[in-house]
Every structure is written in structure tokens, then in C-alpha cells.
Amino acid sequence: MAEVLEQPEGTFVTKEQNVNPWSVSGEVNEDGTVKPIDYSKLVEQFGTKLIDEALLERFERVTGHKPHRFLRRQIVFSHRDLEVILDRFEKKEPFFIYTGRGPSSNIMHIGHMVPFQLTKWLSDVFQVPVIIMLTDDEKYLISDHGRTVNEYEVYAQENAKDIIAVGFDPERTFIFSDFGYMGGDFYRNIARIAKRINRGTADACFGFDSSTNIGKVHFAAVQAASSFAGSFPFMFGPDSNQIPCLIPCAIDQDPYFRLTRDVASQLKYAKPSLIHARFLDALQGPGSKMSASIESSCILARDNPKTIMTKINQYAFSGGRETLEEHREKGGNPDVDVSYQYLRFFLESDEELEQIRQDYKSGKLLTGEIKKKCAGELATFCTSFQERRAKVTDQILEHFMTPRPLLCRGALSNTLLPSVQGKSGASKGPVQDVKDPNSKSQAKKMKKLEEANAKKALKAREKEAKSIATATAGVAALSVAENTAVGEDTVTSTSSLT
């Protein structure tokens, strides 16, 4: 919950809504109540666009897949240039997906899972490579004194296993920690970016002041650098900064990418596109987000069904009435009811969700009943997550964290851009940041090159597939298990529904 300061007279200090990468709190009223986060205000403030029906229809038309429930229910509510990605998908031009996690502890809660569930689903729909950044450096830089670099590196490894257990495809996904991967073309891009962001811009964007440590200021360039394909030369090649990415993230990460998009224009790199998710409310109610360090605020991915039921019963803010009679007569308020809100995130069936909403509003469904339904859904989610997590070995982790070509729509990503290799197959050396990725001729050229390489890619893939299959036998088995277990998040094709 947002901190509310009580003054001696019993009145409260009012506070404006505040959403930034390090803290999230709703507006605080004079009477001390915390309001739900106003997401439309954020869209206005950040200058993003709402995801509307027309865009969702286009998504479905272009991909042939019914949008994920997060998209259908405005949980993923805002975007920047999603159309650019849909255009590329339509034209069969390469792109990748980039997301990340700050490993602040070795515990992940169900709110942390939301962007990863979305990312996994998108990568299955688009069949493009996924880059997952673990910002162990960022979390160390903002930690209390006394914490060590090594602690955050260990958290990164543990978190990576949790993320793998969401069900990512081992042939399409690269996970890295900043401490582990720093250097090479990644660091070259970081330096190019850092050079183009001045203190004034960073201060205005993030609220830094003279007490902010310089590592935190510089980190903005690190998070930005993964938006550019050239930071991962094994993927599309070192000369690939014009290949754009789609970044699924929670809305609080937008400031990083606003800066990134500005710098991309200066460098003539492809601007990243974004889709933004809202937060999963803390158990205490709207106006705050779950925090893994406050156990009573969240459901942990590792919680068992009994703990989940107890937490929901004890802490989940209720939109129900004081007494049974009053509830039956006037009905509950699903908009503030935490159990209903969690069902919106985790219950797949739109029809069932709507029935629950109506029954709760009319008073037919009681608080205890909606809590039970919610705890049951979360228990199913957490249990199947834990089953998959138990299968993630150190060997599988190592595979995901090894730089290697990734599959992009069935072809090996490093065969898609022949310009990178040149005729001799040798790298052309450092990029000179001059091509405009948005020009038509560039797009045409890319398409041609891509087609010319389709055959080559397939051959190469067959050959590679053999060795990958041997190296990741365990991962492949896991992936099959995941796709069965993660049922609600596997891709549903429109055509199979009609």
C-alpha cells in the first residue's frame, strides 16, 4: 500500500499518484484512502496509446489468433507502435521480443508472472526470438548498503529458472544477466546510448537528483541497449540494429523506453515497440502492487493451495457488504474486490468471468464464495507452475543462458540477414549507425534477402537441430510437458475455434 502519513490533527497528507520504475502508489485522499491507479491518466502523462478494439481486431486478423485474455480484458491496455510489429509480421520481416526482470530477491509472486505469461504467448504466436534480461546490476545499484553483488547474481539464476518454468521455448529464448553478459556489442551499444542521454534528460525522466548514485543514472543505457538486436550479435548478426523489437512490460518501465526511442532516432536504429500491462493489485486492494518482500501483500508462485486459501481469506480486500443481509440486498463491488480482480487475470473463460461478475454484483455470490473460487484458480496456476519449475535443471538453465542463434519463424535467426555476413561470410565490423530502418527500400531489401536465404536457413536448421536436440534433450521434454500443463496459456488459434 502507498504510505499514508497521519498528521497530529488526524488529517492526512494528500499525495498524487506516482508511478515510476522503482515505486508505484495511487493517489492518496484527504481522508487517507488510497485510490486505484488511474491508468488512463498514465496513458496521457506518458504519451502512449490505448489498445483499442480496432487494433485487437487487426491483431487477430494478422496473426490468426484470438488475443490473449490480458489483451481482451485491457490488462495489457496501452502501446507504442504495436502496428509496426504487426506490419512486419504480415510482411514476414524479422523482429524479436525483449522483456526483463529485476532480480530483487529469489522469490517471484504471481504479479511477476504476468508479463512473462504474455511474453511466452506472444512468442508462440509470432514464433520469433525472445531476449530476457535479468538486471542484477540494477538491483544491486539500488539495494541497501551491505548487500553484495554476488547475492544479486544468485537471485538472477534462481529467477531465470522461474522464468523458464513459465514455458519458454528453448530454441527461441535467450536469458542473460547483466553481470554475466556485459561486454562486446552489448557494451558498444550501451556506450553509444549513454553518450546520447544527458543528465538533464535523465533527471526529468526518472526524477534523479544529486543524491542519486551514478550507477543508477548510467543503468538507463543498459536497459535501453537490449532493445537493439545488434547487442546480441549471435541472433541476427552484429549489423542488425535496424531489426526492431516488441517489449511487453508493466507500465512503470515506460520511462526507460521513452528515452530509448529518442536515442534510437538519433542512432538511426529501429525504435522499439511496446505493450504495457497494468499491475496486479496487492491483496490489500487497488492503489498498490504486490511486493515480494511483504508476504501479506502477495501470493507467491511457490505458495501451496492451503497457504493461498489462507492468504486470500485473511488479506484479500473485499468489495462485499458488511452483513450477509446487506450483501444479498445490495450486492458487492467487483471493481474493488481483489478476488474478482485476480480472477480477471487468471480465469481463462470470458463467459464464466462475466457470470461471476454479475452474480457478485447482484448479491447472489457471497464474499466467501468468490474468495474460494479465486484461491482455487490461483492454486491451479501455482501448482502447475511448481511442477514445471521442479524440472528446470542447471543444465537447462545453462542452455537458455548460452548465446546462440535462435529460431525465428522456423529459420535460424543468424541466417536471415545475409548483409551481416557479406559474401565471404566475414563480419563487416562495427556498424556506422546510418541506415534508416523505416525506409521502404530498406524494408524491400530486407525482404528480398530474407527470401533468398529461406532455403539456406532450412538446410542449416536441419543440421543444427540435430546437435541442439542432443544438447537439450531435457529441455525439449520439458517444453512438451509445459505445453500440456500450461493449457490456459498455450496459443488458441481462431480457426480452431470456429
Length of the chain: 498
Q: How far is the CB of 150 from ligand TRP (least distance, A)?
A: 19
Min dist CB 134 to ligand TRP, Å, is: 8
Q: How far is the CB of 186 from ligand TRP (least distance, A)?
A: 13
Least distance in angstroms from the C-beta of 212 to ligand TRP = 16
CB of 224 to ligand TRP, least distance (A): 9
Based on CB atoms, which residue is closest to ligand TRP, 130 or 309?
130
Closer to ligand TRP at the Cβ: 227 or 472? 227
Helical axes 367-389 vs 350-362, angle rounded to 10°:
150
Nearer to ligand TRP, 100 or 170 (CB): 100
Residues near ligand TRP (CB under 6 A) are 21, 98-102, 133, 135, 138, 223, 247, 249, 253
Q: Which is nearer to ligand TRP, 99 or 414 (CB)?
A: 99
Q: Which C-beta is closer to ligand TRP: that of 130 or that of 411?
A: 130
Give the C-alpha separation, 111 to 298, whole Å.
8
Crossing angle of the two packed helices 199-206 and 214-225, in degrees rounded to 10: 90
CA–CA dist 212, 219 (Å, integer): 12
Integer Cα distance of 330 and 318 in angstroms: 14
Of 89 and 140, CB closest to ligand TRP: 140
CA distance 82 to 65: 16
Distances (CA, A) of 327 to 312, 339, 375: 19, 16, 21
132: β partners:
99, 175
Q: How far is the CB of 296 from ligand TRP (least distance, A)?
A: 22
Minimum distance from residue 275 beta carbon to ligand TRP (Å): 10
Nearest to ligand TRP of 21, 230 (CB atom): 21
CB nearer to ligand TRP: pick between 126 and 360: 126
Residue 76 beta carbon to ligand TRP: minimum distance, rounded to whole angstroms: 13
